[in-house]
Structure 1
Amino acid sequence: MQRAPKIIPISDLRRDANGIIKSVSASRDPLFITQRGRAAAVMVSMKEYEQTQHELEILRLLARGEKEIEAGVGFSLEEVMAEADALLAEQP
């Protein structure tokens, strides 16, 4: 079961920015910030942001690989696995 997202108004962020940043840094969960009752921003820890960017890069490489396969260009399985292993080893 998915947990309910943590949502705070921007006024709370203004009032206790330091405490909220500490809370987000300690948590793996995103914090949704509202302004005038509507979602305005999402705050995540630096660790979560870096992890997300790393996963996004892997997805980009997979998409590029699919396009290359469709175009009849590509690499051997050994080359692909070596590159994938190198990327996973970089994971924070």
Structure 2
Amino acid sequence: MSKAPKIIPISDLRQDASGVIKRLSSSRDPLFITQRGRAAAVMVSMREYEHTQHELEILRLLARGERDIETGVGFELETVLAEADALLAERQ
């Protein structure tokens, strides 16, 4: 069962911004901010934001690789592996 999302009104954020940020930084969960009863924003810790951005970059690279494969652009696997082996051999 998934956890219920953490939701606070913007007035609570205004009254205790420091405390909200402190609790947020110790949690991996996003915090939904409401304004007039509707979702207005989502806050996450800096650590979680950086992690998400890293994952998005990996997904972008994978998507670009798939497009390259579909269009016939790129390198043969054997060539890439041979170059990787050569680079690893140089470092030893």
Q: TM-score, normalised by structure 1?
A: 0.82
Q: 5+ unaligned residues in a row in structure 1: which ranges?
A: 83-92
Question: What residue in structure 1 maps to residue 55 of structure 2?
Answer: 55
Amino acid at match of 2:17: A
1:13 paired residue number? 13
Deviations 1:63-91 (A, max 9, x none): 000100011012344748x6xxxxxxxxx
Q: How does 1:1-92 map to 2 (within 5 A)?
A: 1-77=1-77, 79=80
Distance 1:28 1:54 in 2: 15
TM-score, normalised relative to structure 2: 0.82
Q: Aligned partners of 2:28 and 2:5: how far apart in 1?
A: 12
Gaps of 5+ in 2: 85-92
The aligned length equals: 81
AA matched with 2:24:
V
Aligned Cα RMSD in Å? 1.6
Point out the structure with max Rg over C-alpha. Answer: 2
